[in-house]
Structure 1
């Protein structure tokens, strides 16, 4: 199994070691970078829209340059009230850098799906859309992005189930988004059960066996991290 997008916790780190799970740990500040560096974790790094300001971007540039993947970055008008013009400026600057440095990008798209779609069309790259929660623009995103991570709410949240139905299994990845997100999504903090449920749900929707789906999703993840 893999976890293509998660936020660090000791519990997740222990379980990943125990179950042999590979993942991409999100880094949004210097403190989180020190944690992943200490534990030698594979990570992505970016200025999250909730923290978007130009000073933060400037201070994070050395860490972005070191990272293999840029993200999660994007825009959000649902869960935060940071000025959208500032969010857009910080987001686009990071898109430019990712394109210049030839690094894949993990996208956060909450409430700003159309704006983000228009921007990423300007900067062709390897894009991973994290936990897409919108019924609209799935076809349009599918035309320009490489992968979609499956939110742990699959089976409960219509938007996630709709996405999996519409997108080829060769473009799907697993994610937890961290323990707090798992709790929010499935009313449980069972990290392993959340990942296994994603495989089970995809198997049902794609008419494949659990082992077939797990193998395909892991192959997708391997392709991403080799880029």
Structure 2
């Protein structure tokens, strides 16, 4: 919700969340989006748990050294409004695109984010594209309350490693048309799955590039219930309990 694509739709989306009693997590990617997410929380949901805020520095922006200094100050000053750390992680794609944004630099920022999460007992949302092995080498050395490998896109063996450590994986709207993601969902520990939209990503096929909103969660849960051969009520209860444990 802190992304500029949502600026003209806040009132519509927030009204839907209140009327449907949908709790959402607004995940940040840098200092500015963290500030915006916290501002939305204070402006629209100051006395409500429907809007949760995760702040963090995405690996795409790890090279911006000023962000880290500003971020740490923001984190301490707004700690009471912060529910978790994210989106954080590693991604060699960005190192290939920008020689200044090396994996070494990304790891420094990533470990600083994990230290904040450990010290303040916060869950984390992880970006792990092409880097699950590297993240799994680092993550267990921190006492992280809970972690989710958001938009999990790895293989089955790594999925088992992740679940065996008690970490969550999340699935988004692509589940409705991606056979690979459908297979991964079936392989995942049902007690360690979460659902997400990853807005403002626009999805193809049945979604026709529409702007992502929390309302899409209903479609994801329904389709997942079909894949897992559960009633929608049963899966909704499982996902609610999973989310509660993840957020503690």
TM-score, normalising length: structure 2: 0.79
Shift of 1:181: 1.6
Shift of 1:165: 0.9
User: Who is 1:177 aligned against?
Assistant: 198
User: Who is 1:52 aligned against?
Assistant: 62
Give the number of the structure whose alpha-carbon radius of gyration is greater: 2
Q: Once the two structures are superposed, what CA deviation does each residue of 1:166-207 show, in whole Å capped at 9, x if it has no partner?
A: 1122111111111x3243584342636631221122212221
User: Who is 1:3 aligned against?
Assistant: none
Distance 1:174-1:167 versus aligned 2 partners, 3 A rule: same
Structure 2: 5+ residue stretches without partners = 46-50
Q: Once the two structures are superposed, what CA deviation does each residue of 1:24-47 show, in whole Å capped at 9, x if it has no partner?
A: 111332233323322223211111
Distance 1:184 1:32 in 2: 27
Distance 1:42 1:100 in 2: 19
Distance 1:12-1:149 versus aligned 2 partners, 3 A rule: farther
User: Who is 1:201 aligned against?
Assistant: 223
Distance 1:159 1:46 in 2: 29
Query: Which residue of the other structure, out of 103, 115, 135, is the alignment partner of 2:134?
Result: 115
Distance 1:35-1:169 versus aligned 2 partners, 3 A rule: same
Query: Which residue of the other structure, out of 32, 38, 45, is the alignment partner of 2:43?
Result: 38
Contact 1:128/1:145 (<8 A) preserved: no
Higher deviation after alignment, 78-87 or 61-70: 78-87
Contact 1:132/1:159 (<8 A) preserved: no
- Trace 1:1-227 onto structure 2 (pairs within 5 A): 9=6, 10=10, 11-27=12-28, 28=30, 29=32, 30-40=35-45, 41-53=51-63, 54-65=65-76, 66=79, 67-78=82-93, 81=97, 82-125=101-144, 126-136=146-156, 137-178=158-199, 180-183=200-203, 186-189=207-210, 191=213, 194-225=216-247, 227=248
CA RMSD of aligned residues (A): 2.3
Contact 1:182/1:191 (<8 A) preserved: no
Q: Matched residue pairs, number?
A: 220
Distance 2:180 2:105 in 1: 28
Structure 1: 5+ residue stretches without partners = 1-5
Task: Give the number of the structure with larger relative contact order, counting CA–CA contacts within 8 Å between residues 6 or more apart.
Answer: 1
Distance 1:62 1:182 in 2: 33
- 4+ residue runs over 4 A deviation: none
Secondary structure, aligned partner of 1:43 = strand
